[in-house]
Amino acid sequence: MPLLGVAAAQSSTVERARDLFVDYVEQMLPQRDKVIDTFNELVEKFEGHWDWFHRTWNRDEYEDEKEIIDSIREHIEERAFPEQTGGGSILDVADRVINHSAPIVSLFLTSMRWVDDAMSPISDIHSRIWTVRDGRDLADWDGQARTAYDDIVAQQQETTNAAKDLAAFMSSWVAEIAEDNVGYVKQLLDRLGDIVSTIAAGIVALVDSWGVFTLLKIAELVGQFVGEAISQLGEIAVQIASALSRIIEAEQVLTDYSYFPDGTWPAAVDRA
């Protein structure tokens, strides 16, 4: 069996990761809305400064700064994310996280079930195979009875070893995909927060010192944060896709009965 030595996911670790994921998703909608609200506030401040009189007498400067405002909007609403993430803008990516988080939560639960419902009972069976209930010392056995008993119990032990490996593999494989999604959501949430903070700080600065340089700095930083999100989320999405592509490997494991003697569970041994 090629899976010997695969470490099972720890149920407590998976549970903590699931709680983090749920918490991040709950923060996603408020943070997404803050991006929109803060940008709209920036536009309002901009238009408030460039009233009709100022626009009339400084038209070229107004148009230059309006282009910078538009570039900030484009970073937020139009700059395209990789196909692996589903494409669209950073707001579109946030919407997908908000609307499609339930399957990821199910992955965490599935991983825990592999540990709790499969791994643990199999471990218990494995430990009992070599335990004689009435306390007799098997070393005292001899002859054909001892040989037959040792042979069948060894087969049972080998089989439970393989079954434990299967449970370990599946719990680890599912948990890996789920945990990558935690990183994905955390990175997205952080970058949205960076955008909000940058625009908000820019609004405060603009009230005291209005100028094209300040707007340019806001646009530069927002573009940087969106670019980081594109890179980081793209890389994590590739990792998730790679893990999912191994479903063929998982299916092969699930249908591999080569470790069963003659393809069946070994005959029972009466220890009474």
In a domain, 268, yes or no: no
The total number of residues shown for the chain amounts to: 272
User: What is the percent of the chain where pLDDT is above 70?
Assistant: 72
Q: What is the mean pLDDT of residues 161-170?
A: 74
In a domain, 118, yes or no: yes
In a domain, 187, yes or no: yes
Q: What is the mean pLDDT of residues 79-86?
A: 93
pTM of the model: 0.77
Contact 65, 215 (CB under 8 A): yes
Contact 6, 69 (CB under 8 A): no
In a domain, 5, yes or no: no
Of 125, 124, 133, the C-alpha closest to 270 is 133
In a domain, 269, yes or no: no
In a domain, 183, yes or no: yes
Query: What per-residue confidence (pLDDT) applies to 227?
Result: 97
Residue ranges with strand state E in 124-267: none
> Residue 85 — very low, low, confident or very high, per pLDDT cuts 50/70/90?
very high
Query: What per-residue confidence (pLDDT) applies to 173?
Result: 80
Question: Is the Cα dihedral 180, 185, 186, 188 positive or negative?
Answer: positive
Query: What per-residue confidence (pLDDT) applies to 248?
Result: 60
Of 258, 248, 222, 264, the C-alpha closest to 1 is 258
Q: What is the DSSP letter of 265?
A: P
Query: What per-residue confidence (pLDDT) applies to 103?
Result: 86
d(CA 253, CA 2): 9
**At residue 1, does pLDDT exceed 60?**
no
Q: What is the mean pLDDT of residues 29-45?
A: 95
Domain count, the chain: 1
**At residue 193, does pLDDT exceed 70?**
yes
In a domain, 271, yes or no: no
**At residue 34, does pLDDT exceed 90?**
yes
Query: What per-residue confidence (pLDDT) applies to 172?
Result: 81
More confident residue, 203 or 72: 72
Query: What per-residue confidence (pLDDT) applies to 199?
Result: 94
Q: What is the mean pLDDT of residues 144-160?
A: 71
Query: What per-residue confidence (pLDDT) applies to 91?
Result: 97
- Residue-range definition of the domain harbouring residue 66: 11-263
In a domain, 217, yes or no: yes
Query: What per-residue confidence (pLDDT) applies to 106?
Result: 86
Query: What per-residue confidence (pLDDT) applies to 31?
Result: 97
Query: What per-residue confidence (pLDDT) applies to 10?
Result: 78
| pLDDT tens digits along 88-144 | 999 999 999 999 998 888 888 888 777 776 666 666 655 555 555 555 555 566 677
d(CA 71, CA 39): 12
Q: What is the mean pLDDT of residues 204-211?
A: 70
**Among 33-47, 123-137, 221-235, 245-259, where is mean pLDDT lowest?**
123-137
d(CA 196, CA 203): 11
More confident residue, 50 or 129: 50
Counts for the chain of helices (H) and strands (E), in that order: 9, 0
CA angle 101, 103, 104 (to 5 degrees): 65
